[in-house]
Amino acid sequence: MQSQTVQETVTTLPAMSYGQMLEQVRYNGAYPTRERAEQVVSAVLAAFGRRVTGEERVELAARLPREAARVFAAEIPATDELTGWAFVRDLAARTGGTLATTRWDVGSVLGVVARIAGPDLLDRVLAQLPSGYAILFGRAELTQAA
C-alpha cells in the first residue's frame, strides 16, 4: 500500500515553475541576475521554437512552464535545416552575441529543457533535428561508422 502512495505522489508532483526554470538557468549559466537569465531563456527558446515541429513541438511546449512555452510556441518553424553549430551561429547573429557566449547561453538553457523534457521526448526531438544538437543538450552525439 505504501508503494502505491509513493507512486501517486510522484505522478501528482507539480511541473517546474517558470521561476524555478529561470533559477536553474541562472545557476547553470552563472548569470548575475534573474533578468539576464530570463533574456537568455527567451532568446534561446524563441530560436529553438523555429527548429522543432510536429508532435514533439506540442509535447515539449506542454511540458515547459507556461511562460517559456509561450515564447517557444510563438515562433513559426523554419523550413531550412540548421546543424547544431549553425543554430548557435544564427542565434549569435540575431542577438549580437559572440559565438562563445551564445554557445554557453544555449547550453545553459537547453540543459534545463532536457531535464524538463525527459529522456524519451528528448530522444524524439533530437531524432528530427540535424546533427550537432545533442551536445547542446549536454549529451554525446553517437554516430555509426560508415
Would you list the domain boundaries of the chain? 25-136
Which residues, 6+ apart, have CB-to-CB distance to 81 below 8 Å? 130
pLDDT of 16-72, one tens digit each?
999 999 999 999 999 999 999 999 999 999 999 999 999 999 999 999 999 999 999
| Residue entry with cell 548575475 | 32
pLDDT above 60: residue 5: no
Position 142 scores a pLDDT of: 61
pTM: predicted TM-score of the whole model, two decimal places: 0.86
Q: Which CATH architecture has domain 25-136?
A: Orthogonal Bundle (1.10)
Q: How far apart are CA 74 and CA 134, in angstroms?
A: 23
